[in-house]
Amino acid sequence: MSTKALAGLSLRPMTAQDLARAEDLSRDHQWPHREEDWAFFLSIGEGLVAERDGLVIGTIMAWRFGPRVATLGMVIVDKAAQGQGIGRALMEAMLARLEGMSVVLNATAEGLPLYRKLGFAEIGCIHQHQGPAPVVPLAALRPDERVRPMGPADADIADLYSRASGMDRTALVAALMARDKGVVLTRDHVPVGFAMLRRFGRGWSIAPVIAPDADGAKVLILHGLAQHTGTFCRLDVSDESGLSPWLAELGLPRVGGGIKMVRGPAPVEDTAFHVFGLTTQALT
């Protein structure tokens, strides 16, 4: 890292006043995040910005999910300032804040070499699907299954997400329920999965999607797509979910993805439930 290249650079905590500039940086990189999306991220997490001559030229954010695991994302450097070690400086500063925690992120191909150097190891692959929601068939429900609207009494679904991800998702689910609509999958009247239908980026995101199996996940996803036929929708699914080919066959094409990485021990997931759709690639 060149001291000369970093001359005049300062790192400081991100504030609400930085969000408009953060949106500009993400737009320049063709990321879809609106200022409202940045604001939500900051409300449940923490961020740092890199500043030079009074202008923010880099960002990074992190979210703590319990005492042992955090996720990291929104690592963006102004195109005019790339190749100067700014991304590494932001990463090292945030990792120092998260000392002692396992850190999970989804890497772009461009960021992969840096993350490897910083001790991250690859543990999976993410597929991004998006486009106008196609006309989809009715979900084939089992005799004991029901999909119903999510209500205030469903706060316990956070436990399903926590078990599926190996992270404490209590605060995240509370934040999502306070602003977004969702549906719950029940079997024999017992909640076994759920999906949120959220405004995000260019349209709607069906995320997260938590279910005990792929059949349950498909029921939840079909319900969400049917609610938004013709409207821009996005899903981010893991390779191991097996849902990527199915989504493409439905008419929601794969347009990209990421590489899931971890620094430290990987979160221990409960095999009874699975994360079939990520909340976002940053929050995973």
Percent of the chain with pLDDT over 90: 95
Residue 79 burial (CB count, 10 A): 11
Q: If pLDDT is split at 50, 70 and 90, which confidence band does 240 have?
A: very high
Work out the percent of the chain whose per-residue pLDDT is above 70.
98
The pLDDT score that the predictor gives to residue 3 is 58
pTM of the model: 0.95
- Across 186-201, average pLDDT: 96
Segment 115-140 mean pLDDT: 96
59 and 75 Cβ atoms separated by less than 8 Å = yes
Residue type, 30: Q
pLDDT at 1: 46
Q: Are 72 and 47 in contact (CB under 8 A)?
A: no
Q: Please compute the mean of the pLDDT values over residues 221-238 and round it to a whole number.
A: 97
User: What is the C-alpha separation between 279 and 34, in angstroms, rounded?
Assistant: 16
- Ordered by where they begin, the domains of the chain are 9-100 (3.40.630.30), 128-256+267-277 (3.40.630.90)
Res 224 pLDDT > 70: yes
pLDDT tens sequence across 98-111:
999 999 999 999 99
Going from the C-alpha of 18 to that of each of 56, 72, 196, 210, the distances in angstroms are: 8, 18, 28, 33
